[in-house]
């Protein structure tokens, strides 16, 4: 009951502060990624098409999702800091042209594709992937009386300001400060952080709540919060 009431309040706040802005700015690039994977290694090959203005030199950025480590690459200057990778070149790439990149790497567990693709700081979409809400991480555990958070972004730019809708199911009392729950044609790829507090309760149950994040035209995503009860 409490969480539904809080959510209704959030929606009211959001509606009040949506700015009036012109729709524009599609994604600046489209990534076609593939990888050949064996026991602990993989070879990645991918193509990136320039959908925006000419790149006079470019920096490709992406984030690994499963502890991958690049061991060898070619034709680009590569940096890796934890999961964050950049591959740069001084080459010029005109509108509509594509670049091809590749590297060899190591992985542990499932070799899931990288995420958060950008070229010169502008977000890319992934070819062949339907538009989706991307909420991370999937699971958050919070001791009773403390807070945790997750981030939400979109995989593809919306044509106009798009509300993020949130439905909640589960048990316990959870609260959150109000935030602007919408995406614009320019901020769609910027993760928006959402904090959730597990309110102290008198019971001894590790309560769980599932947030389902959705937007019209996008595949929804979920985040599960688990309370570590202290009674
Ligand atoms: Ca309790
Ligand atoms: Ca509890």
The number of CA neighbours under 13 Å toward the Cβ of 51 is: 17
* Distance from residue 198's CA to the centre of ligand 1 (Å): 10
- Domain regions of the chain by residue span: 29-126, 131-228
DSSP-assigned beta bridge partners for residue 142: 227
**Surface-to-core class of residue 90, CB atoms within 10 Å of its CB (0-12 exposed, 13-18 middle, 19+ buried):** exposed
Comparing CA positions, the residue from 217, 212, 111, 201 lying closest to residue 158 is 217
DSSP-assigned beta bridge partners for residue 99: 48
* Distance from residue 206's CA to the centre of ligand 2 (Å): 5
Give the pLDDT score at 180.
61
Domain 29-126 matches domain 131-228 at the CATH topology level: yes
Highest mean pLDDT (candidates 49-53, 64-68, 84-88): 84-88
* Distance from residue 222's CA to the centre of ligand 2 (Å): 21
Biggest alpha carbon–alpha carbon distance for the chain: 63
The CATH number, out of the four listed (2.40.10.330, 2.40.40.20, 1.10.3720.10, 2.60.40.10), of the domain defined by the range 131-228: 2.60.40.10
* Distance from residue 229's CA to the centre of ligand 1 (Å): 5
* Distance from residue 141's CA to the centre of ligand 1 (Å): 14
Task: Give the number of whichever ligand sits closest to the CA of residue 173.
Answer: 2
User: How confident is the model over 133-140, as a mean pLDDT?
Assistant: 92
* Distance from residue 205's CA to the centre of ligand 1 (Å): 6
Task: Give the number of whichever ligand sits closest to the CA of residue 205.
Answer: 2
The number of CA neighbours under 13 Å toward the Cβ of 221 is: 19
* Distance from residue 228's CA to the centre of ligand 1 (Å): 8
* Distance from residue 103's CA to the centre of ligand 2 (Å): 48
170 backbone φψ class: left, alpha, beta (φ>0; ψ -120 to 50): left
Omega within 30 of 0 (cis) for the link into 137: yes
Residue with tokens 């590790």: 206
Which of the four pLDDT bands, split at 50, 70 and 90, describes residue 95? very high
Give the pLDDT score at 146.
96
CATH 1.10.150.120 assigned to 29-126: no
Give the pLDDT score at 26.
54
Q: How many Å apart are CA 136 and CA 229, to the nearest integer?
A: 23
């Amino acid at each position: 009951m409490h969480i539904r009431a809080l959510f209704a309040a959030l929606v009211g706040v959001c509606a009040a502060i949506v700015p009036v802005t012109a729709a524009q700015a599609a994604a600046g690039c489209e990534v076609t990624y593939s990888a050949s994977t064996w026991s602990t290694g993989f070879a990645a090959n991918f193509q990136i098409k320039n959908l925006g203005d000419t790149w006079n030199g470019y920096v490709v950025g992406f984030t690994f999702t499963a502890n991958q480590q690049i061991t060898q690459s070619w034709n680009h200057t590569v940096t890796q800091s934890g999961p964050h990778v950049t591959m740069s070149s001084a080459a010029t790439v005109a509108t509509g042209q594509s670049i091809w990149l590749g590297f060899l790497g190591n992985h542990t567990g499932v070799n899931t594709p990288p995420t958060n693709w950008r070229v010169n700081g502008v977000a890319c979409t992934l070819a062949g992937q339907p538009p989706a809400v991307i909420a991370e991480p999937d699971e958050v555990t919070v001791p009773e009386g403390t807070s945790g958070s997750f981030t939400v972004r979109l995989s593809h730019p919306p044509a106009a300001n798009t509300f993020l809708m949130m439905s909640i199911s589960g048990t316990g009392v959870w609260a959150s400060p109000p935030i602007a729950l919408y995406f614009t044609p320019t901020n769609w790829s910027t993760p928006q952080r959402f904090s959730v507090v597990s309110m102290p309760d008198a019971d001894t149950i590790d309560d769980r709540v599932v947030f389902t994040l959705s937007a019209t035209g996008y595949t929804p995503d979920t985040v599960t919060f688990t309370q570590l009860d202290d009674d």
